Structure 1
Amino acid sequence: MGAIWFPAGRLADCLHELVGYKAGIAASLRNLCDLLEGTRYPDIVLESEERMVRVRAEEYENLFFTLLERIGHTDTRHNGIFDLYDLLDQLKQKHGEQFVTTLTKIQTQSLFSRLDNVGPIDPFPIIEAARKKLGPQGGLAMMEIFDMHQRINELSPYTSERYVQWDDVIPLDGLYERPSNKANHGEFIDQRFIDYLAANVAQLYEMHWRRFEELIAEYFHRIGYKVELGPGQNDDGVDIRVWRPEENGQGVGQLHIVQCKRQRDKIEKVVVKGLYADVMHENAAWGVIVTTSSLAKGAKKTIEARGYPIQEVDGNKVAEWLTTLRTPGTGIVRRSSS
C-alpha cells in the first residue's frame, strides 16, 4: 500500500488534528502516548518528534484506528476497507458466492450510471434494485454494505466525514481537574468524557472526584430523575439529591440521597452511618452509596443488621452505567503539554 514520510514533528501533529477533527478532545503528546500504551506506536511517535520517519500506509491507518478505539470513539478497533472485505466474506458464507457477485455488480452498475451527477449518493434505489433481484435478503445485504461504506468514510483518516460535527474541543486533562464550566454536550458532564471512560474504566480511579459526582448525576438525569448536584464544598456531606419520577409522569416522587465515593479502598461503616443520618435528617426514602470500589463487610453488615434504607452501587455497576451512557463520538486534537 506504499508508505508516508513524516518530517520531524508532523506525525503527532497529523494524528492530533485528524482524531480531533473526527471527535473533539484536546490532548497533549503525553496523553497521546498514554492512549497507545501497550503497542509499539508510542516509540514511533516519540521518535518522529526528533527526526523524519517513514510509516507504511496500512500501519498509519492501524495506528489511527487504535487511537479511535482507545479514546472510546469506537467500541472496537476498525480496519478500514478490510472491514468491508470481512462483511463480504460473511455474506458469501451465508448466501453463496453468486449472491455477493450479483450484489457487487448491481452496486457497480448503479454507481457508474450516475458518474456525471453531483451530490451525495441516494442508496435507496440501489437497495431496491438488490431487493428485486435477490429478494428481501438482497435488500438487507445491500443496506449492510452501504452502512459499512458510511462507517468507513466516517472513520477514515483520509475523509472529512465524521460521526458528530463537534463545534468545540475539550482537554482530556480536564477529566482530572475540577470543572469550571458547564458541560456543552451533557447536562452535568460532557459526553466525550463518558465515552472515554467507557473505554478506559480504570481511569475512574484517576478522574477528579467532582467529575465523578458529575458522572453519577448525569446517569440519574438520563434515566429520568430530577437531579440536584450539590456545590461540592460545604454541602453537609450530601453530594447529590435525586427525586424519582412519578409513575404517571406528573411531578416528582420520593427523595433519594446519593453519596459518591471515588476511591480504591473499601467503604467503611462510618460512611454508612453518616449517610443514614442524612437520610433521616432530610426525610428521604433511600440513601445510595455509589463507589468505584465496594462496601466493606462491616459496612454491609451494619446496613443489614440495622435495616438502614441504604443501597450500594459498586464499581462493576458504575462500569455498566458507563456502557449505558456511551455513544459514538470522542476524539483528541493536539494540545501543548502542561
Structure 2
Amino acid sequence: MGSISFEKGRFADHLHEIIGYKSGIAASIEHMCDLLSGTGFDDKISNSEINGLRIRSDDYESLYYELLHKVGVTDKPYGGIYEVFQIQREMEKSEGMEFATNIQDIYHRNMRLETTRSIQENKKSLDPTGMMEEAYNKYGKLGLDSILKLIYGYAELMNYSPQSAMRFHQWGNVINIEDLFSEYRPVVSDGIFLDQRFIDYLSVNTEKLCGIHWRKFEELTAECFSKFGYSVELGPGSNDDGVDVRVWNDDQRGAPKYIIQCKRMKSKIDKVTIKGLYADVLHEGSELGILVTSSELSVGARKTISARSYPIEEVNNGKIKSWLSELRTPGSGIVRV
C-alpha cells in the first residue's frame, strides 16, 4: 500500500476543499478536528499544520470517509471498494461462484462498451440498460436484481470516492458548519427554513443540538414540520409573545392547528413554561401546543400537563433525533407528533 505526502499546512486545505466539493459543507480545521475527536485522525490534521504529513493511502481513505460521514453525507463511515467486495461476496454465498462471476462479467463488459459509446457520442452519462437487459435475459429477475446491486454499489463508490470528480448532488453553493452555531440570519438554499445539509449534519451529530444557535433551533423545527407536509409560519425570533412557530394543515387561514414553543437548552423545562404555553394555546385558539426542546420536560411539568389535561405535547431530544434520522437525505418518511 502506497502513501501520500502533504507539505506543511496543505493537508487541512485539501480536506476542506474535497469535503466541500463532495458535501457542499465547509468545515474549518477546528471543526474537522472536533468531528474526528477520539479517532486519532484529529491529531494528524493538527500536526500537519506544523510538520506536514505522510499518510498511508488506506489511512487517508479511512480518515476521508470518516469525515464525509461526520459532515452528514453518509449515515455511517463508508467502506470504499470493500463495500463493492461485500456485494460480490454476498452474491457468491447466496447464488454460487459461477453466477456471481457471470454477473460481474456482464457489468464490466457493458461498462466498457457504454464508456466507449459515450466518448464517441460526447455524452456525459452512461446508460445501464444494456447490462440490465442482458442480466435479465440470462437469469430473469434474480439477474436483474443482482446487476442492480452492482450498479448501485459502483455508483456509490464513484460518488463518494476522493479519487473521483463525481458526486451525488451538484451543489450551487457551499454552506459553513459554523453558521449553524453562530448565525442568526437564514442560511438556506436547499430547503425552506433550514438547509437540508444542516439536517444531514445534525442527524449524525445529535449531541450538537444543544450547541446550535437558538434561531437555528427554531428554523430546524419549522423545517421539520414543513417537510411533514404542514403549512408553517416561523415567528420573527424576538417579540413573538412566546410563539415561535405556527402550523396549519393546509393554507394559513384561521387559527393555527398547532402552536410551537422552541427551547434549545440543557436544563429541563419547568411547569411555569408549560402554563405559559397553555395560555398561548387558549389565546390563539389552537388545538394543541407543542414544546420542542433539546432537553426534556421536568417531572413537575409533566404532572401539570396530566393533572390539568392541558392540550400540550412534548417533543424532546429523543424525538428530535428520530425526526433527523427520518428526514436526512433522501428522507421521505412520514413522522407523527
Q: TM-score, normalised by structure 1?
A: 0.92
1:197 alignment partner, one of 182, 189, 202: 202
Aligned to 1:300: 302
Q: Aligned pair 1:239/2:257, yes or no?
A: no
> What is the one-letter code of the residue matched to 2:210?
Y
Q: Distance in 2 between matches of 1:116 and 1:301?
A: 70
Residue 145 (structure 1) shift: 0.3
Aligned counterparts, 1:13-28, within 5 A = 13-28=13-28
Are the equivalent residues in 2 in contact too, given 1:163–1:328 (CA < 8 A)? no
Q: Contact 1:291–1:314 (CA<8 Å) still a contact in 2?
A: yes
* 2:52 corresponds to: 52
| Structure 1: 5+ residue stretches without partners | 330-338
Q: With CA pairs under 8 Å and 6+ residues apart, which has the higher RCO, 1 or 2?
A: 1
Greater Cα shift, 145-154 or 98-107: 98-107
Conserved 8 A contact 1:244-1:252: no
Is residue 74–residue 328 contact of structure 1 (8 Å, CA) maintained in 2?
Answer: no
- 2:184 counterpart letter in structure 1: P
Is the contact made by 2:23 and 2:71 (CA closer than 8 Å) also made in structure 1? no
Aligned ranges 1:147-162 → 2 under 5 Å = 147-162=152-167
**Secondary structure of 2:249's aligned partner:** strand
User: Contact between 1:84 and 1:149, CA under 8 Å: does it hold in 2?
Assistant: yes
SS of match in other structure, 1:157: coil
Range with greater deviation from structure 2 (97-106 or 117-126): 117-126
1:284 pairs with one of 283, 286, 293? 286
Alignment of 1:166-315 (within 5 A): 166-181=171-186, 183-245=188-250, 254-315=256-317
Deviation for aligned residue 1:169: 1.2
**C-alpha displacement of 1:111:** 3.6
Letter in 1 for 2:158: N
Structure 1 residues 291 and 135, CA gap change in structure 2 (3 angstroms): same
Identity %: 44
Distance 1:161 1:155 in 2: 8
Question: Structure 2: 5+ residue runs without aligned partners?
Answer: 332-337
Deviations 1:212-260 (A, max 9, x none): 01000111111121211111111111111111239xxx97775321011
Counterpart-to-counterpart distance in 2, 1:174 and 1:60:
28
Which protein has the bigger helix share?
2
| Aligned match of 1:334 | none
CA–CA distance in structure 2, aligned partners of residues 126 and 165 of structure 1:
27
Whether the 8 Å contact between 1:4 and 1:57 is mirrored in structure 2 is yes
Considering only aligned residues, what root-mean-square deviation do their CA atoms show, in Å? 1.8
